[in-house]
Amino acid sequence: MSIEIRGINKHFGNFQALKNIDLHIRSGELVALLGPSGCGKTSLLRIIAGLETPDTGSIVFHGEDVSSHDVRDRNVGFVFQHYALFRHMTVFDNVAFGLRMKPKKQRPSESVIASKVHELLNLVQLDWLADRYPEQLSGGQRQRIALARALAVEPKILLLDEPFGALDAKVRKELRRWLARLHEEVHLTSVFVTHDQEEAMEVADRIVVMNKGVIEQIGTPAEVYEKPASEFVYHFLGDSNRLQLAEDNHLLFRPHEVSLSRSAADEHRAAQVRDIRPLGAITRVTLQVDGQDELIEAEVAKDHGSLAGLVRGETLYFKPKAVLTPSGAVQHV
Amino acid sequence: MSIASATLAKDSAVRASVQRTPAALILIGLAWIIFAVVLLLPLYIVVTQGLQRGLDVFWNAISEPDAISALKLTLLATGISVPLNLVFGVAAAWCVTKFEFRGKSLLITLIDMPFSVSPVVAGLIYVLLFGSQGVFAPFLQAHDLQIVYAVPGIVLATIFVTFPFVARELIPLMEEQGTTEEEAARLLGANGWQMFWHVTLPNVKWALIYGVVLCTARAMGEFGAVSVVSGHIRGMTNTLPLHIEILYNEYNIVAAFSVAILLLAMALVILLLRQWSESRLSRSLVRDDE
Ligand SMILES: Nc1ncnc2c1ncn2[C@@H]1O[C@H](COP(=O)(O)OP(=O)(O)OP(=O)(O)O)[C@@H](O)[C@H]1O
Ligand SMILES: [Mg+2]
C-alpha cells in the first residue's frame, strides 16, 4: 500500500515542527526517516498514523485520502520508541490484543487467535516467553514483542519509531538485519525512524534526510551518500573534513578519501601529524594544517606506505581524492 | 513478584539492624507509648464503656429503631456518594491526565477544594443554596422538594466532602503512566470503551480501590458538613455519627459508646481493606519501577 504525504505543516504552539512535507512512499518500500534529534521525525510518523493532526496537508493511502480517518480505521502497525507494551498483560495477551478487539463479526475464535499468536511469536523467535510479563523481558525481547503485536492485525503499513534506539550495538545489528528480512517476507510498506545513518544505509530502500522540520533530501542510500543535496546531508551521512581555502571558500571531504605521502608531491598540502590511531583494519591520522584551527582526519589502510615509522610532529602531505563541490555532487579529483 | 519480595526482605533486614541501636529502641518505645495513650486507650475505653452493662444492653442500643435508621442512612449516604465519586474521580483523572486543555490547572485546584474548605462551611453552602432562605428556595418550594434537613442534603454534603479522594489517588499514577499504552490500544483497533476497560482501568486498579476505600471511610465517618444540613431529626435525618452525638448529649453514655463500637467495627473493616489494597498498590509500583 503506497503512502502519499502532501503539504504537511505542523505547529506545537508557536514552534513549527514540520514545514511543507511532501513525500511519496511506494508500495512495499522500506523507507528510513533520518535526522538529528528534534527534527520532527516522530511527529511525521505520528501524523501518518493519525495520532497527531497536521495543521494543513493530507495523508493518502493507496489513493484514498485518510486524513479524516480515526487512528483505528487506518490499519497501521506502529512500534513505539519505548515499546508501550501493555504492562498488566502477558506477552501472549499483548500480541492477541488487536485480534480480540475486533468487532464480534470479524473476531476470530480463541483457538484461531491462539494459533495466530504462536505463529507470530515464532516469527520473532520468542514463543517460549508467551506467559511472561513485559517487565520480565529484556529490551530487545520487548522490541520484538511490540513488533509481533503490531503485525497481529495484518497491517498494510508498518511504522517504527527508532525501533533499535535503546539497544546495544550488537543486538541492534542483529535486529535490523532481521527486520530487513522480515520486511521481505511479510511484504509491508514500512517507514522507520532513526538518527543512525549507518542503520538507515544498511536497511532502507530509500532514505529521507530531515533537518529542522524540512526534508533535505530523498534518495537511495547510494544517492544521498554520493550526491548529497546539501552540506547538512553530507555531514550527517558520515564523518567529514573541512579544508578552508580562502575566507569564503572551503572544501568538504571524507577521512577515507585522502591520499597521503611522506614527501612533497603534486597538489599535496603539507600538514603536521598530531595523532596516530590504529583502529583495526585502518589507521586514523589527525593532521594540523596551517591557517585553520579545525583538524583534518585521514583514514588509510593500516599497512599504508606513508605510515611506516611515522611519529607525532612529523610533516605529512595530503590531498583529498573526492570533495563535495558547491554544486552538490561529490567530485573525484 | 520475586523482585518485590526481595526488596521487602532487604527492607526488613535493614530494619532489623536499625532496631539494635539503643536510640532506635527508645524511639520505638516512645512511639508505642504515644500510640497506646492516644489511640489504644480511647479505643479500649469506647469498647469497655459500650459493653459495661453487658451484651444485652449493647445489643438493645444498636438495635433500637433510631439506631437502625441512623445506620441505614449512613449506609445509604455512603452507598450513593462512593459510586458517584468513583465515576467522577475516574472521569476527572482521565481528562486531566490524558488531554491538554485550557483551565486544566484550575480544574485540578478545584478538585482539591473540599480538602481545604472546612466541612462546616461546606454544609453551610448547601443550606445557603437549598435552605428555606436559599437561592433555589422558590423553585424547591414550588415543586415541593426538600433538600436541606432531609436525606438529599445529607447525601449531597457527603458527596462534597469525599469529592477528591478517588481523583487524588489516580491523577499522579495516570500522569506517570502517560498515554502511549492507550495510543497503542487505539492503533490496534480498540474503541474508546475497550481502551478504557482493557488498558487504562487495569493499569490503575489498585490505586482506584485504595481511593474508594478512603472515600468510604470518610463518607461513613463524616460529621461536620452532615451535621449542618441534617437538622438532627431522629429516625429521619440522623447518621451514625450524629446519632452518637445526640445520645452523648443526653447523657446516655452506654448507648452512645455502643453505637460508637458499631461505627468502629465498620471502620476496622475498611482499614483492613485499605491495608490490603495499599500493599497491592505498592507492590505493583515496585513492579513498574523495574
Ligand atoms: N506534544 C508536543 N508539544 C510541544 N512540542 C512538541 C510536541 N511534540 C514534539 N514537539 C517538538 O517538535 C519538535 C520535533 O519533535 P519530534 O518528536 O518529532 O522530534 P524527533 O525528530 O522525533 O526527535 P528525536 O530523535 O529526539 O526523537 C521538537 O522540537 C519537539 O520539542
Ligand atoms: Mg522521536
What is the CATH classification number for the domain harbouring B246?
A: 1.10.3720.10
Determine which residue's CA is closest to atom 12 belonging to ligand 1. A17
Band (A266; pLDDT cuts 50, 70, 90): confident
What is the pLDDT at residue A89? 93
Atom of ligand 1 nearest to the CA of A45: 18
Query: Does residue B27 lie within any of the structural domains?
Result: no
Q: Does A238 touch chain B (CB under 8 A)?
A: no
Query: What value does the mean pLDDT take over residues A197-226?
Result: 92
The residues that bridge with A259 in the sheet, in sequence order, are: A319
Q: Tell me the whole-structure pTM to 2 decimals.
A: 0.79
Contacts of B21 (CB under 8 A, 6+ apart): none
pLDDT tens track for B174-186: 988 888 999 999 9
Q: Which three cell numbers stand for residue B33?
A: 507509648
Q: What is the 3-state secondary structure (H, E, C) of chain B?
A: CHHHHHHHHHHHHHHHHHHCCHHHHHHHHHHHHHHHHHHHHHHHHHHHHHHCCCHHHHHHHHHCHHHHHHHHHHHHHHHHHHHHHHHHHHHHHHHHHHCCCCCHHHHHHHHHHHHHCCHHHHHHHHHHHHCCCCCCHHHHHHCCCCCCCCHHHHHHHHHHHHCHHHHHHHHHHHHHHCCHHHHHHHHCCCCHHHHHHHHHHHHHHHHHHHHHHHHHHHHHHCCHHHHHHHCCCCCCCCCHHHHHHHHHHCCCHHHHHHHHHHHHHHHHHHHHHHHHHHHHHHHHHHHHHC
When scoring B1, B183, B187 by the number of chain A Cβ atoms within 10 A, the one with the most, hence best to mutate, is B187
Band (B8; pLDDT cuts 50, 70, 90): very low
Assess whether the C-beta atom of A17 lies below 6 angstroms from ligand 1: yes
Query: Does residue B247 lie within any of the structural domains?
Result: yes
Query: Does residue B14 lie within any of the structural domains?
Result: no
Taking CB atoms and an 8 Å cutoff, what residues of chain A touch B193?
none
Which of B186, B287, B288 minimises the CB distance to A71? B186
Determine which residue's CA is closest to atom 26 belonging to ligand 1. A37
Q: Domains plus CATH for chain A?
A: 3-233 (3.40.50.300), 240-332 (2.40.50.100)
> How close is the Cα of B6 to the center of ligand 1, in Å?
39
Q: Inter-chain contact A98–B287, Cβ cutoff 8 Å? A: no
Q: How far is CA A319 from the centre of its chain?
A: 31
> How close is the Cα of A76 to the center of ligand 2, in Å?
18
What is the pLDDT at residue B9? 46
In terms of CA atoms, which chain B residue is nearest residue A98?
B188
* Residue burial A125-143, b: 16+ Cβ < 10 Å; e: rest: ebbebbeebbebbeebbbb
Taking CB atoms and an 8 Å cutoff, what residues of chain A touch B7?
none
DSSP character at residue A80: B
Assess whether the C-beta atom of A208 lies below 6 angstroms from ligand 1: no
Query: Does residue B226 lie within any of the structural domains?
Result: yes
Query: What value does the mean pLDDT take over residues B115-132?
Result: 87
Query: Does residue B201 lie within any of the structural domains?
Result: yes
User: What ipTM was predicted for this assembly?
Assistant: 0.82
Q: Are A102 and A75 in contact (CB under 8 A)?
A: no
Q: How far is A145 from chain B (nearest CA, A)?
A: 13
Q: Does A166 touch chain B (CB under 8 A)?
A: no
More confident residue, B237 or B283: B237
Q: How far is A120 from chain B (nearest CA, A)?
A: 15
Contacts of B187 (CB under 8 A, 6+ apart): A49, A51, A71, A72, A76, A77, A78, A150
Q: Inter-chain contact B187–A150, Cβ cutoff 8 Å? A: yes
Q: Does A90 touch chain B (CB under 8 A)?
A: no
Band (B17; pLDDT cuts 50, 70, 90): low
Band (B55; pLDDT cuts 50, 70, 90): confident
Query: Does residue B103 lie within any of the structural domains?
Result: yes
Taking CB atoms and an 8 Å cutoff, what residues of chain A touch B287?
135
Beta-sheet pairing, A76-79 with A157-161: parallel
Taking CB atoms and an 8 Å cutoff, what residues of chain A touch B187?
49, 51, 71-72, 76-78, 150
A&B contacts, CB < 8 Å: 66
What is the pLDDT at residue B186? 93
Contacts of B62 (CB under 8 A, 6+ apart): B71, B258, B259, B261, B262
- Sign, Cα dihedral of A63, A66, A72, A76: positive
Which of B184, B202, B290 minimises the CB distance to A84? B184
What is the pLDDT at residue A326? 63
Domain coverage including residue B101: 41-289
Give the rounded percent of residues in chain B with a pLDDT score beyond 90: 26
What is the pLDDT at residue B274? 79
DSSP character at residue A55: S
Query: Does residue B265 lie within any of the structural domains?
Result: yes
Q: Inter-chain contact B187–A78, Cβ cutoff 8 Å? A: yes
pLDDT tens track for A34-65: 999 999 999 999 999 999 999 999 999 999 99
Determine which residue's CA is closest to atom 5 belonging to ligand 1. A12
Give how many domains chain B has, as a whole number.
1
Taking CB atoms and an 8 Å cutoff, what residues of chain A touch B190?
72, 97, 101
Beta-sheet pairing, A206-211 with A214-219: antiparallel
Query: Does residue B9 lie within any of the structural domains?
Result: no
Rounded Cα distance between B108 and B172, Å, is 11
> How close is the Cα of A43 to the center of ligand 1, in Å?
6
- Sign, Cα dihedral of A301, A304, A306, A309: positive
- Ligand number nearest CA of A46 is 1
Query: What value does the mean pLDDT take over residues A278-287?
Result: 90
Position A105 pLDDT exceeds 50: yes
Assess whether the C-beta atom of A195 lies below 6 angstroms from ligand 1: yes
Amino acid at A244: Q
Cα-based distances in Å from A238 to A184, A198, A218, B182: 27, 9, 17, 38
